[in-house]
Amino acid sequence: MATRTPSRWVVERRATAALAGREIRRVLSLWTQTLLPPVVTGLIFLAVFGGALGDRLDLVEDVAYVRFILPGLLVLTVAGQAFANASTSLFQAKSEGYIEDVLTSPMRNWQLVAAYLSGGVVRGWLAALLLALIALPFAGPVEHVGLTVGALFLTGLIFGTLGVITGIWSETFDQHAFVANLLITPLALLGGVFYSADRLEAPWRALTRFDPIYYLVDATRGGWTGINDASIAVALAVAAAAAVALYAVAVALVARGWRLKP
């Protein structure tokens, strides 16, 4: 009896699922390194800023300060973890030399990017979910679950894909750390996580509104508390466009084999 050869689509799907599963298992098996630290960090921020400033800032935009800052901390958690996981995975694959095995697999370029992206996205979402569940008794209920999930979904896609691009670009650990330390962290801290942009004087208000993370924070805050500054529709549309553009760049870099092939 003749053995039926799997179709190309089946082979591609299995290869993509195998690589994505490896990335996700890595996140889950190393949970003390991938999930616990960001959750503890988020809780420390929540306790220190909420405890220290909560008494002095009783209400911010008509909501309790702890409730006000939690959505921003969720965005920081998703962004930082999605970026770190995707960039680290690709950087290690290059430095340890097994990226060539991945490139010779039957996956298409967009599938390879999706597989590496999946680990970062799952890591960011799980860490944010744990943080939200622990903080829920102190920060109150979610007003619009769909909006909150959608904003965090786009955050994971954007920064996970940026992590893939950084992993492809970086050839040394210093280059790998440069983007996280000198780009993502400053943008995150200036993105309105701990303050309302409407309370700032010029030119700081305008500078905050130029920060792309501000719109993700604002959309997530609108979903959690029902209060936001900018247009939710515009924020989500711009975030979706950024996610698509970054994904296209990542696929193009893989297709060229830039800094991936010897």
Confirm if 122 and 35 have CB atoms less than 8 A apart: no
Q: Comparing C-alpha atoms, which of 127, 112, 129 is closest to residue 17?
A: 112
Which residues make beta-bridge pairs with 158? Answer: none
pLDDT at 52: 65
Report H helices in the chain: 8-29, 31-34, 36-54, 65-95, 99-103, 109-139, 145-169, 173-179, 185-189, 204-210, 212-225, 232-256
For residues 257 and 262, what is the distance between their CA atoms, to the nearest angstrom? 9
pTM greater than 0.85 = yes
Using the Cα atoms of residue 91, residue 96, residue 97 and residue 99 in order, give the sign of their dihedral: negative
pLDDT at 262: 65
DSSP 59: E
DSSP codes joined into one string, 41-53: HHHHHHHHHHHHH
Domain boundaries, the chain: 19-256
Q: Which two tokens stand for residue 30?
A: 């190393």
pLDDT at 16: 92
pLDDT at 144: 94
Q: Are strands 59-60 and 63-64 parallel, antiparallel or unpaired?
A: antiparallel
Which residues make beta-bridge pairs with 64? Answer: 59
Residue 261's φ and ψ, nearest 5 degrees, are: -100, 140
For residues 28 and 228, what is the distance between their CA atoms, to the nearest angstrom? 34
pLDDT at 216: 93
pLDDT digit string (tens) for the chain, length 262 residues = 455 667 888 888 999 999 999 999 999 999 999 999 999 999 998 888 766 665 565 666 678 888 888 999 999 999 999 999 999 999 888 888 888 888 888 899 999 999 999 999 999 999 999 999 999 988 889 999 999 999 999 999 999 999 999 999 988 878 878 888 877 778 877 888 888 777 777 777 777 777 888 899 999 999 999 988 888 998 899 899 999 999 999 999 999 988 887 6
DSSP codes joined into one string, 165-208: HHHHH-SSHHHHHHHIIIIIHHHHHTSSSSS-GGGSPTTHHHHH
Confirm if 184 and 79 have CB atoms less than 8 A apart: yes
pLDDT at 1: 46
pLDDT at 56: 60
Angle between helices 109-139 and 36-54 (to 10 degrees): 40
Q: Which two tokens stand for residue 24?
A: 């996700």
